[in-house]
Amino acid sequence: MSINIPTAYRSKITIPFGELKDVVEWVDRNCSGDVKYMEDPDDQFSSWVFFFESERDYIAFLMWKK
């Protein structure tokens, strides 16, 4: 994934244990640009940060998670 983290659209979400796979599968099916995700280094309670290259993918993700 060649995403520029400082300029990427960023979304921090809490994902219950065992549900990360479902979120990643949704991203794979519905996002066209590069996406990177990582466990939030500042929060150790199932928080993940998703970085989106595309504003369209970012907005779709926010609407889906709402």
State residue 1's pLDDT score.
52
With a CB cutoff of 8 Å and minimum separation 6, the contacts of 52 are 3, 8, 9, 10, 11, 31, 33, 34, 35, 58, 61
**For every one of its 66 residues, what pLDDT tens digit does the chain have, with 9 covering 90 and above?**
577 877 889 999 999 989 999 999 999 999 999 999 999 888 777 899 999 999 999 999 999 988
pTM of the full structure: 0.86
State residue 23's pLDDT score.
96
